[in-house]
Structures are given as structure tokens and as C-alpha cells.
A and B are shown apart, each in its own frame.
Chain A
Amino acid sequence: MTTATVKIEETAIQDRPILEIKDLAITFTTGAGEFKAVKNAHLSIMPGETVAIVGESGSGKSTTALAAIGLLPGNGRVTGGQILLDGEDIAHASERRMIELRGSHIGMVPQDPMSNLNPVWKIGYQVRETLKANGRPDGPDDVARVLAEAGLPDAHRRARQYPHEFSGGMRQRALIAIGLSCAPKLLIADEPTSALDVTVQRRILDHLEKMTTELGTSVLLITHDLGLAAERADKVVVMYQGNVVEAGPSLELLRNPQHPYTKRLVESAPSLASRRIQSAKEQGVEAADLLVPAAAGRARDEVLQVRNLRKVYKLRQGMGQSTDFAAVDDVSFSVKRGTTTAIVGESGSGKSTVAKMVLRLESPTEGQIIFDGVDTAGLKGKELFTFRRRVQPIFQDPYGSLDPMYNIYRTIEEPLRIHKIGDAASREKKVRELLDQVALPQGTMQRYPNELSGGQRQRVAIARALALDPEVIICDEAVSALDVLVQAQVLNLLTELQSELGLTYLFITHDLAVVRQIADHVCVMEKGKLVETGTTDDVFDAPQQDYTRALLNAIPGASLLLPPAVA
């Protein structure tokens, strides 16, 4: 009897989670009153385990993690529940105790590598600061060792450099080095790779996994990407509106989602999708209002041809000297009417420059862009004005692309007014129709952009682009800034509009998963050059180039096998 009790206690100690959050509630006090950001969160992380919190923005996932390290913003406080770190409740621990715990017991890798390193201090100094604060040896060799462990080559020299001399991936490695420098028992990684290219993301996550396995560190990974979470974590916790709605082993949860929200997430996770979204019409739904004769009657000619496009920027090197830098180098492709062509590449590949030149916001150094049989370089005055009407852009940042001083009605009406189409009454009718097309209530008209969510703003941007009945729409990372579910919604909308209006899309993106969902043709760009083109199926099923293969392999969750019913 006694021995049995002792045994149970021993197992209990071994099985004690490194972090256990019970019924956590967090309230923010704002000018508008009390706001419950987290209502009921609970999770547990065993030693050495990786747990991922998945959820959309505003679901409370980051707030939960910040509470665990005691770094809630000044107006937020824990109003209920417990946060047990190795058995000790730290939900209301003193600031002194939290300072002791941070670094040595809990480490943190923040989201944005661009703003989380102090630009005026050398990298080495910032690592040393952490070591010193936790009473560890902080000589130059120790600093270099920490950096080298995080995978930075030539660490001694790197330690003497400033953050601006580092690329995004290297900065994130430096931040990981700082986070893990004191071998904490728990590492909180808040969207550690969201700001990075997919291939870099993969390398960083691989390295993080290796390091934490060696140190035996538990990881609390916060991400919006279900595919990434399932691939990297042992357990996944799904948060929605401040509550944990589902939690369980990653694969189990992915293959057998129970809560309707999780089901919705699994259905629309782009990294898990395996085919192009099809519009209702293409799926065989016979609806008369979907069949627009104009779209059906148009021949599938090549509406846009890009030939040997080249764009050279002069980089200033001081003292009046400059070197040439080819942002776009000998790029040729063509786009068939009514189809979607995606240009994929990592940052710096020149894909956005191509988009700007097609829109004639930049002029090419060499090469031609032929729109509907006419070279756009020669367009002037009235012809250019007409061209603007036929080719419309949708931009990446839904918070930046709408004028905050214009209400939604004025925003969508502006192109009509500029091109002097119709009178006030007919323009208002058109705006109402456009809002219907993008599935926004007509009451949106009097609202201002700051009252809308990112997805709603993007739908307004689509309505504005459609106002002039364009033929080609250039989407520059149009869904990259959106939450997964909203992204799926916008992609579906774009597909419906394409089949309804016969639109042609040129889709610029870094996200191959999105390409899979929307594109018919793919152009892969690397460092200004076009490395591979083909139909989406060909490129995804049989990539010809190493670079394309690397990109495809880096899609998080791509290797996870899902039953066809879910995928």
C-alpha cells in the first residue's frame, strides 16, 4: 500500500508537465471598456515536447503565450486560472521572480526578426546581454559558440556585425540563439518564421527542432498555419475567440477534426489542399446567372505577352559611383485570356517588379509587354488611360491599399468618376452591384476602411478593381496578409468572379500552396530569372528544376498524408 503510493508520486513527478495552463482568462482594459482576450485556455507541455497553438488573429494565441512569460501589455491582466511552470503558479508572480525565470527557464523567439533586434548594438553585444543577465560566462568565445550553435557560420565575425548587415533568416537565427542561449526548459516561439521565405523557414525550423531536441527544451509554437503546426508539433491546440476549442495529438487532430471550427480550418488550410478551387459552374452546377455570354464567347487568345523583359536598377555605391543590378532578367511568358498565371518566387526574385512593369507603374529597361496585341511601352495620354481601365491591380496590404479618408462608397466609385462613366445615380447602382459581387452588405458603403477587417478591405479592393470591367487583374500577394479562413474565402471569390466575368489573373505570390489552389500556369522566378514555367499540375507533379523542388518541399505540411475526404 505505502510502496504503491510512493510509486504513484514518483511517476507523477516524472510526468509533471513543464508548463500547464489551466482555465486561463486574460482581460484587457481599453478606452472602450473591458475586453476578454482569453476566456478559457488550457494546455500542458511535457518536458521535451513541442506543442503548437493554432488560431486566427485575435484568437488569443499570442496573448496566452505572452502571459506564460509574464510579458502582457500594460493594460492586460490575468483574471482567472493558473499558469504552472514546473509546478509553480506564475500567473501572479512578482516581477522579480519573472525576471529570474525569463531567459534561464523560459526563452522566447519573437515574431518579427526585422524589429526585434536593436539596430544600434552589435549582434554579439545583444547575445552577451542575455548571457550576462542570467549569470552565464559571457566572453567573446561564449557569444560565438551560442551563435554558431544557432547555425550562423563564421560566428566570431558575425558577432561583430550590426543587425542591418544580416538577412531576415540570419536575424531570426540570431534571435533563436538569444532565446536558447541560457538553455531554458521552455521556449516560446511566436510565429518565428511567418516573415520569412518558405525555404528559409524550413531551414530555420529544422535547426530549431535539432537544437531543442539536443537541449531537451520544450517548445510552445504559435502559428496560424495548421500544416506547419501538424508537421512540427507533437500536440496541436486550436484556439478560437479566446477559447481552446480542440486539442490533441497533431495527426489525430488533423485527420479526425471534431470541432466545427477545426474542421473548417483543416478544410481551408492551403498547405494541405491538393487541387485548384473550382467555381460552382465548373463543378457542374447549372445556373443561368453564372453563364455570362461575353465571357463564354471570348476566344482564349493570349491577352498578355511578356517578351525578354529586363529591368536594371542602378545601385548607388557612394562617391557618384553606381553598379547595375538586374532585378528582372530576360523574363518571357504569356497569359491566356480567362486563365490564371502565377508568378512564384522568394523575396528579391523580381516578381513584384514584373507586376509593376505590367501595370506600367515602372518602365522596363529592355523587352516588351504586349497587351491585347499592343506594346504597352508606346501608350500615351488617352491610350494609357484606356489601358488603365482594362488592367487593374489588387495589392498585398489590405491596410494600405484603401485611402483611410474615403468611405467605401467613394473608394469604389472613384474609378467610375475618373473615367467619367455614368451619372451619380447609375454610379451608385454600380457600386451596389459591385458590393453584391464581392459579398459585402450594401450597408458597407458608408463605412470607412478602419472599420473593416483585412479580408473585408481586400474584398473592397477587389470591388474597386472590378468597377471598370477590366480584362486583366494583377494580384500582387493579394491574399498573403490574410488569415487562412479569410484567405480561402477571398480565393473562392476570385475564382467565382473569374468564371462569371471571364477575368484573367496574373497572380504574384511567394506561397506555392496558394498557387496550387488558384493557378492554371506557373512561372517560377529566382533572382530575377525565370527558372521554370508550365501548367500548375506539371510543375507540382514533376518539377524540373532543383529550385522548384526545394520550394515545393518547403511547403509546411506537404508531406502529411491526409485521407482524400479531408484533403
Chain B
Amino acid sequence: MSNTKHFVAPVEETPLLATDSLRTDQAPLSLWADAWRKLRRRPMFIISSLMILFLLFVAFFPGAFTSVDPNNNCQLSNSEAGPTAGHPFGFTLQGCDVYARVIHGTQASLSVGVLSVLCVLVIGVTLGALAGYYGGWLDAVLARLGDIFFALPLVLGALVITQLPLFRENKSVWTVVFVISMLAWPQMARITRGAVIEVRNADFVTAARSLGVSRFGALVRHVLPNALAPVIVLATLELGVFIVAEATLSFLGIGLPASVMSWGNDISAANASIRTNPSILLYPAGALSITVLSFIMLGDAVRDALDPKSRQR
């Protein structure tokens, strides 16, 4: 009968390997190298990062794209005039060159976005990591503090803060950065806190502690680096969100002063002529959308690359 037969496969078919031998055919890969390897093959990452590089170039060297001074070359005779040679996007109500204004507005939008994200990172990651790692009363206090700011809607909170005399009289990029960071750090703190809590009980942290690493040392050396992935993803996504926030505040007249070229201010100004010449509104709004879209696409691509579930070989 076939079912009582003792079957032995020929040894040549499955040659016996050494137990638990090390695979040496591939180059060593750190988490970041691995993420980079995945990222650079993704079309979404390539497109969005090329767009961001282009935007950065525009922000740093606006002179390479236009020689027209956006503010001081306005002639009312050109008011709402259509595109002409050298002025491809036409003119605003005040007779300023739309193309020049859009190019020069890049700098303000990007700098508000980048600076706000940096501030949020410093405040949010520090507080979130301390709260998550040490827990106890520190966590409770910081969580409630965060909740207070969390409960304030951005526009409402910004209205209140910017009406303070100190801010009303010194409107600049920095006041906008301050307002956005004040109201946006709790989300970053929450994400960091969650990631830190997830990592802090890992065996490698216990192992480091029993090697003699101090409690704070373990946070800095082992916990934080392992909790950074969601933080980086959120930071990339928030960059886009903060640029929109700046435009919103400027549109409402509580953001950047009129002297600073910004898309939000231009959208606000173009609001008056939306019926007669909507293209004046379209160009700064389009630039804003493209910028935000590229950062959000980058954030999505980075999130996929850093997803720990995709990191099994």
C-alpha cells in the first residue's frame, strides 16, 4: 500500500545547506537607504521632488525668471490689461505684472511653510517625545496643554492672536510663522508621542538600559530615531497645509503685510475683479495649488517608503 511506504527524496534534489547561513549576496541596507531605494523608483516621488526643486529655485532666484519689479512698476493705465509681450499673465487691477507677482510670491509662501514646519518640529517632537517617554504627570500636563491649542480653530485662533497690539504692528513672515506654529504643534506632539510610546517598550531599549545607557540616553539614541518615520511623513504633509494656512490668513488680511509679495495677498486682491478678469485670480491660486499638491504627493510617497510593513524581505 502506498500510504505506508517510507519515501526518501534523492539528496541531490534538495542539497543540504549549512544551518542558518548568512546571505551575503546583497549590499547592506539601513532603513534610510532602503527607503531611498524604494522612493527613487516611484514616479510620484520623482515628479513631486522635481517640482519642489523647481519651486525652491524660483524662490531663491526669482530674478532668473523675471526682470520686472513686481511692486514699483505698476501703471494704472495697464489695469486689468490682457497678456502682452513680456507680461504673459496680464496685469492686476493696480496695473502690476501678474507673472512677476506670482514668481516673487513663491519666496514668502515657501519660507512661511518651511519655517513653520521647523518650529512645529522642534516644539512638537520635543514635547511629544518627553510626554510619551516619561509618561505620568508630565504626559498628563502636556496632553491637556496640547488639547487647549487643538481645540482652537486655526482661523479663529489666528484672528485673536494677530489682534494683539504686538502682532498688529509688526506683521511679517515671522508673526505668521509664530501663529501657525502655536496652533499646529499639538498634532506633531501627538504623533511623536504615539510613535515613542510604541518604541519605548521594545526589547532593544531594555537591552540598552541594561547595558548601562541612561534613561535619557536611550530616548535620544534608540527611541527617537526609531520613532522618526511618522514624524517625517507628517512634516512633509504639513508643509503643504501650512502654505495654504498662510494664504488663508493673508487672504483674510491677518497674514503677511501687503508689502510682502504673497499668493494669499494676491488672491485676496484679485477677489475684487473676479467677475471682470478671473485670470488675475487664477494664476496665484494655480501656483498655490501646484505647490501644495507637490508637497502632499511627496508626503504620500515618503509614507509608503517608510511603512514598516513594506520592510520585510
Contact = CB atoms under 8 A, between A and B. Distances in A.
Contacts of A389: 212
Interface string B16-31: 1101101110101111
Contacts of B210: 359, 361, 388, 391-393
A383 B20 CA distance: 39
Contacts of A455: 19-20
B6 interface: yes
Interface of B: 1-9, 11, 13-14, 16-17, 19-20, 22-24, 26, 28-31, 34, 202-204, 206-213, 217, 222, 225-226, 311-313
29 contacts: A243-B9, A243-B13, A245-B13, A246-B6, A252-B6, A256-B6, A258-B8, A259-B11, A264-B16, A392-B211, A395-B207, A400-B202, A400-B204, A401-B203, A402-B204, A402-B207, A403-B204, A403-B225, A405-B31, A405-B222, A405-B225, A415-B212, A418-B217, A440-B22, A443-B24, A447-B28, A450-B34, A450-B311, A451-B23
Given A359-B210, A361-B209, A450-B313, A44 B30 contact: no
Given A388-B212, A403-B208, 7 more contacts: A32-B313, A245-B14, A258-B8, A389-B212, A392-B211, A414-B213, A444-B22
Interface residues of A, number: 66
A159 B209 CA distance: 45
Interface string A374-402: 00000000000100110111011100111
B207 A464 contact: yes
Interface string A12-47: 000101000000000000001000000010001010
B19 A485 contact: yes
A153 B225 CA distance: 49
A327 interface: no
A421 to B, nearest CB: 11
A446 B28 CA distance: 6
Contacts of A241: 14, 17
A489 interface: yes
By DSSP majority rule, is chain A's interface helix, strand, loop, or mixed?
A: mixed
A393 B207 contact: yes
Contacts of A235: 3
Interface in A343-390: 359, 361, 385, 388-389
Contacts of B206: 361, 393, 395, 401
Given A385-B212, A448-B28, A455-B20, A253 B6 contact: yes
Q: Which of A396, A441, A450, A452 has the most CB atoms of chain B within a 10 A radius of its CB? A: A450
Contacts of A401: 203-204, 206-207
B96 to A, nearest CB: 51
Contacts of B213: 414, 418
Contacts of B311: 450
B62 to A, nearest CB: 40
